[in-house]
Amino acid sequence: MSAAESTYVSTLGKGDSLHQQVLASFPLCDITEEDLTQNAQFCKLLATLAQHVDQSGLTVPLKTELEKAEQKLQSQRRYWLRSEGIHKALQEMTQDHCIRKHYATVPPDQNMFYETMEKCLLVAQCIRQLDPSSTTNKDQPSVLGLTPQQMMELMPSEKNVQRMKQSLPRELEKHLKTKCLSLLAYYHPEWENESEGLKNSKLSHLSAQMDNEKKRAESLKESSRENSVLLQRQTQLYLSEQIKCIQLLQSLILDHRLRIQTDLDRKKLEYFEGKCELVLQKIKTEMVEIQLDTEKLSSDLKASQVEKHSVESKLASFEMLGKDFEALAEEYCRLRQEIEMNTWALKEFTQCKDK
């Protein structure tokens, strides 16, 4: 850093004053005062850079050249707007004349004036489309093979053109005055019934009023942009503070969790102990029931074995009887079947008798 630049930095101020001046010199940069505080050398670099560039980041020579180019552009733009405005006004005049012809009788001289003006406008527009610019290839074929000289042959007679040119300023002034009065009535409807002289007097102040409105709109636009930048910066500060608060809250939650972790572990241990005791008690109850069932099964098994021995002894005695026992058993079965058949028949007979 040179001595002059060091002197410049020292004159800016120190601490918060330097930070505020650097932020004011670079409003479009996404930096905060905290960034400048944490990076002192970067802050000094920006303070030195502020004497070479403006708030938009342009150097002084480049800013001068840009202003000259903008002035030239504005001059060309005013010239183009003036020509375009007159051309639009002439087109509006011809359109108004066409509409007026359908609702009222128009004098022949006005008819001739507007027809001549419309033809001149059409021929001029066609010539402008056919005439190549400096960036157009000269060998490129023209539209429909026409040339500007051929289009000039379609112009009205010189006599009618001269008459039209003599009447044009007066008619154009009348048309523009009507439009200005309409604009004045739009801005100030209360002046619509005023006298012609008062309207003309008020009309002279209309351009200044519209210029003030334009400046006011530009001022509001600039204020909106500054407020947007300020809002963005405040939003970033708010978000950074929110992050800090979240981190602090997380640390508090962690500390609180560590404090109550012992109580939570003790309660979990008591819960699991109680649950284990219930499970053990249930297992003991089931074991007792199983033991009782086993004892019952054992007694049933013994009874079944006793019954088995009894049946086996009876079978052994029946086997000793031999074939006589089998015949006796078959006779018994036959008698049982006859008894059942007779019982059924008696039952059916009784039911039929009751009916």
Cα–Cα distances in angstroms (integers) from residue 60 to residues 64, 279, 301, in the given order: 6, 88, 117
Q: What is the pLDDT of residue 65?
A: 87
Q: What is the pLDDT of residue 108?
A: 86
DSSP one-letter code for 131: S
Identity at 154, one-letter amino acid code: L
State whether residue 59 is helix, strand or coil. Answer: strand
8 Å CB contact between 181 and 188: no
DSSP one-letter code for 127: H
8 Å CB contact between 175 and 89: yes
Question: By C-alpha distance, which of 115, 127, 129, 125 is closest to 152?
Answer: 127
- Residue 212 corresponds to which tokens in the numbers above? 């003030």
Q: Where are the alpha helices (DSSP H) in the chain?
A: 3-12, 16-25, 33-38, 40-49, 60-103, 108-130, 148-152, 158-187, 196-203, 206-321, 323-354
Q: What is the pLDDT of residue 137?
A: 55
What is the full per-residue pLDDT of the chain (355 aa) written as tens digits? 444 444 444 444 444 577 777 777 776 677 777 777 777 787 787 787 777 777 666 777 888 888 899 999 999 999 988 888 888 888 888 888 888 888 888 888 888 888 888 888 888 888 877 766 555 555 565 666 777 777 787 788 888 888 888 888 888 888 888 888 887 777 777 766 777 777 777 777 777 888 888 888 999 998 898 888 888 888 888 888 889 999 988 888 888 777 777 777 888 888 888 888 888 898 888 888 888 877 887 787 787 778 778 767 766 776 666 666 677 777 778 887 888 887 887 777 777 766 5
Q: What is the pLDDT of residue 4?
A: 46
| CA angle, 13 then 14 then 16, to 5° | 105
> Cβ atoms within 10 A of the Cβ of 113, count?
21
Q: Which pTM does this prediction carry?
A: 0.44
CA–CA gap between residue 289 and residue 283 (Å, rounded) = 10
